[in-house]
Amino acid sequence: MAAKTNFRGSFTALVTPFKNGSLDEAAFRGLVSWQIAEGTNGLVPVGTTGESPTVSHDEHKRVVEWCIEEARGRVPVIAGAGSNSTREAIELAQHAEKAGANAVLVVTPYYNKPTQEGMYQHFKAINDAIGIPIVIYNIPPRSVIDMSVDTMARLFELKNIAGVKDATASMVRVSQQRAKMGEDFNQLSGEDATVLGYMAHGGHGCISVTSNVAPRLCSEFHVAWQKGDLKTALKLHDKLMPLHTNLFVESNPAPVKYALSLLGKIDEKLRLPMVPVSEPTRVAVRSAMVHAGLIN
């Protein structure tokens, strides 16, 4: 089977900036332009990091449109389009396609706890409703369910299922998926701290939280890996590792929004039930940014 997507390198799971309770369009567009200038290989708006659970559908669609407009085809856009309602996921995926997204990122249905057959039918329904590639987002810690390798293999037979954002943090899973679906199944890490191991097991890239704050370093890591320069890749991974860890001391995206506020990129505004991080987490995030050379 020919590759349906060929995404490689560092993709940023973008935050959604807020101001006075509303979307901050200027800050968001500024982030997109900065990310591209810093070497980011692709953009992922309104996923978990983009606070998709607390933006309205209209806001969700506007953020996708702004991202595509600002990117201007310079890098691919994988638009978040997941929901635990299949009908809602189809609506968001169809909008993303119409807006010009290169692909959609669809999370396994959280809270409902569907069976493997239920997950298959959910993704098949979305597959049948659109004409652009779908990246499965498998994140058991948040969705409670875990899509099996066999279910992914069944889905990969469909015309639009292209790959996975794998947030299981399991190196075994990468190899199992590669063995079952082959090299054309586009495997992207969804877990920053294990990205080096993920790539070593056959991964193609990462949809990253850390790259919101350190886009150039994350991009350089993947460039080094693609060149086979393991020494440089390891050095960069070590430089980024405190960020990979400390940006998750409290629930994402609170720490990364604080980090971006230190860089003057956005206001540190979140929507309830997300709240600003505690002082110990601020200390940890600042320390990690110093270690990475992002601030003094």
CA atoms within 13 A on the CB side of 67: 33
Q: How far apart are the first and last CA of the chain?
A: 49
137 carries an active-site annotation: yes
Check whether 5 is labelled as a binding-site residue.
no
Catalytic residue among 61, 120, 137, 239: 137
Q: Which of 200, 195, 202 is nearest to 217 (CA)?
A: 195
Other CB atoms within a 10 A radius of the CB of residue 84 amount to 16
Q: Which of 5, 62, 63, 67 is nearest to 36 (CA)?
A: 67
Q: What are phi and psi of 9, to 5 degrees?
A: 95, -145
Q: Name the residue with tokens 């090299």.
A: 183
Give the C-alpha separation, 128 to 120, whole Å. Answer: 12
Continuous H helices in 194-253: 195-200, 215-226, 230-246
Enumerate residues 6+ apart whose C-beta is below 8 A from 2.
Answer: 184
Check whether 68 is labelled as a binding-site residue.
no
DSSP classification of residue 52: G
Give the C-alpha separation, 206 to 195, whole Å. Answer: 7
Catalytic residue among 61, 165, 239, 257: 165
Q: What DSSP string describes 96-127?
A: HHHHT-SEEEEE--TTT---HHHHHHHHHHHH
Residues within the annotated binding site?
49, 207
Catalytic residue ranges: 137, 165
Residues within the annotated binding site for pyruvate?
49, 207
